[in-house]
Amino acid sequence: MPPLEWWLYNGSRTTIGLSGLSVIAGVVLVRLGNREWHKRVMAVACVLALIFVGLYMARSMLFPPPKYHGEWRSIYLWILGSHTIMSVVNLPLVIVTLYLALKGRFNGHKRVAPYTAAVWIFVAASGWTIFLFNS
């Protein structure tokens, strides 16, 4: 793997993993009542997710995406399909959740945030699974 492709691949893999872990930490922090650290950790999760998108798009444009042809292809394709759909669903969820929090509409934020967190964590975990299939 050329150095640039290696850097983009591992950078995207690292940022989406850390983003998912940040969301988990944010959920734990808010359940513990620590709103200030929840806010900080969720901001980190958002920044890491944005970095991931940039790295992933750069890698996809510069290098052809890998195609998995192993014995688990049907499972891989199911994971890839659900990951793709849920990642598209995640974007508006994150925007709405972030908007509600920034506007101080915490009742609405509390209603939407659990769904956003669940989808985000699923997307991060399934993304890592796709990376593992292709490594």
Q: Is 104 helix (H, G, I), strand (E, B) or coil?
A: coil
Residue 81 has a pLDDT of 97
Range of the domain at 68: 3-133
Residue 106 has a pLDDT of 96
pLDDT band of residue 89 (cuts 50, 70, 90) is very high
CATH of the domain at 93: 1.20.120.80
Q: How many domains does the chain have?
A: 1
pLDDT band of residue 44 (cuts 50, 70, 90) is very high
CA 65 – CA 63 distance, rounded (Å): 6
Residue 99 has a pLDDT of 98
Burial class (CB in 10 A: 0-12, 13-18, 19+), 22: buried
